[in-house]
Amino acid sequence: MQKKLAPWVLPSSNVSLEGTEILVRSRSSFFIACYVEGRPKPKITWLKDGENIDEIIENNVEVSLRDDNQILEFKFARTKYAGKYECSIESRVGHIQPFTNVIFEDEALALSEKNLINFYHRCHHCPCHFILRKQLGTGAFGRVLLAQVKGLNGKESPTRVAIKMCKYEGDKTHLRALILELKIMIHLGKHLNIVNLMGAHTSNIDKGELWILVEYCKYGNLLKFIQRAKNKFINQIDPVTSDIDVGRTSPFPNDPLYGRTSNLNPDAYLDLHIPGGSVEIGHSMGGHPSATYNARLTTV
């Protein structure tokens, strides 16, 4: 005579005794799996929000049970199918009831939006007056505008900021990407070397409109700076030896300064005129670990 075993849920199921979440898209297909073992073979009954599933399945070609009621399949996802699904497993030896919550992506996003609004009304929300200016740039899902903001951080005088917003209002995918970016900026906090978050305008987020206020960088971004200065770039990699030649100070091959200058006096200074500041640097010469080559960078 075989030993009786209480029913248990197999790991391949997407339900559990602690509960799981299944995130689905509208109009897609999905299934809930409740694979069980036990001796004698347990009986499976499905419940939705505490009610027997039979009312949903009856005369409904979109929802069906298969594999001895172990799989509840939905051929066409509708928001009315969202809710708590319990897999009631019962035998003479015992009874367990694992469950899952079916959540639609739009509802999940709405919940994130609600939490975000509540957070910003407490911390970062900016009840300001905005004057939008020119467009500064555009990306895959958003665009950036220059703006004057009155009332930011309690200041009556206008503050220049850059405002990031969705390229197309009402696009859930773009809004989700912007929300994720905002969350990252919140966690980063303020730092001298990054573009800092200054606030957010969330009043119309239910309409797909979210504005992120960040510091305005009047000199543009690093990419544009590199593009503007590409003609002044000096490649100090020697094409023959692949060594770094710090003595090469001209981008033009015909310039006398283009050649390798390893015979420079290590203690001599060379003025390199660049925009933006003054800094003094030192560099060891190849083959002379103790020798130092100095360059003084000055503003033009």
d(CA 17, CA 98): 4
d(CA 17, CA 70): 15
- Binding residue per annotation — 164? yes
- Strand ranges for the chain from DSSP E: 5-9, 20-24, 30-33, 36-39, 43-48, 51-52, 63-66, 71-74, 83-90, 95-96, 99-104, 129-138, 142-150, 159-166, 197-201, 211-215, 269-273, 279-285, 288-298
- Rounded to 5, what percent of the chain is helix, strand, coil? 20, 40, 40
> In what helix (H) or strand (E) does residue 55 lie, and over which residues does it extend?
helix 54-57
Known binding residues for ATP are 164
Residue numbering of the annotated binding site: 164
